[in-house]
Structure 1
């Protein structure tokens, strides 16, 4: 009986290894296919006038910052907002993209041509003092490629 058990193990072990190899190959192929369909994200920090290449054909440029927030020490009727105006540049021309987390009718995430732009962080986070010089604005934006339009 012991001999039979040992023979079965010697016969089944290579079959077991072969099955594992086949399963591993199927899993690897499935993972690669899924990775191609998974959106990729990168994060960039831009100041007005700066631009960054997103793809081989697309460039994102931060055109301007509109900061209407009530400055510290001022008396205001409303709290205001800050918005960021970008240009998405490619061979077809320029497309305007505006991001804001507080602008009426604005959005902190916008999808254009399978690219989603999401506002992550702004600097300065609070408005400057009433008589302070214009701050150096910086915006952190996440760009997700392969996103479906919303």
Structure 2
């Protein structure tokens, strides 16, 4: 059986360490690039009619709240749901977005282009009483920029 000389083993060890250093450097470069592509998130609380600029070219407006939930004290044949209708406004026009965590066929998160809109919290969380005045609705939405479609 052939044995490697001491100097040849040292050479191979040095070569292996150099290769690992190069690979580690490649990993660090890839991580730095990934950090630049990491999505950024902002959270906004809106009431009907309010709008907020979310990018240099995009504005989000809460158009209306559709609350068909069964009011406290009422007799209902179904539970109902609450949904939030938004408009994403930019130079291309308006895109309708509907968020709901209880609407049949609805979604609590929607992606449009490079933006993802996620319903975080709603106020009021429960339906108002049967003869109560219409509540002041507020919705908390997380907007993630730079999210790539999957």
**Deviant stretches of 4+, over 6 Å:** 25-28
Residues 114-125 of structure 1 aligned to structure 2 (within 5 Å): 114-125=114-125
Offset from partner CA, 1:97-130 (integer Å, 9 cap, x none): 0000000000000000110000000000000000
CA shift at 1:149, angstroms? Answer: 2.5
Aligned to 2:34: 34
- Rounded to whole Å, the distance in 2 between the matches of 1:149 and 1:131 is 44
How many correspondences in the alignment? 129
* Helix, strand or coil at the partner of 1:140: strand
- Rounded to whole Å, the distance in 1 between the matches of 2:77 and 2:57 is 44
Q: Gaps (5+ residues) in structure 2?
A: 1-24
* Helix, strand or coil at the partner of 1:131: coil
Residues 1:85 and 2:85 aligned together: yes
- What TM-score comes out, normalization by structure 2 length? 0.80
- Rounded to whole Å, the distance in 1 between the matches of 2:120 and 2:51 is 17
Q: Gaps (5+ residues) in structure 1?
A: 1-24
- Rounded to whole Å, the distance in 2 between the matches of 1:114 and 1:50 is 22
* Helix, strand or coil at the partner of 1:33: helix
Aligned to 1:71: 71
- What TM-score comes out, normalization by structure 1 length? 0.80
- Rounded to whole Å, the distance in 1 between the matches of 2:104 and 2:62 is 20
Q: What value does the CA root-mean-square deviation take over the aligned residues? A: 1.9
CA shift at 1:62, angstroms? Answer: 0.2
Aligned to 2:108: 108
Aligned to 2:57: 57
CA shift at 1:26, angstroms? Answer: 7.7
Aligned to 2:134: 134
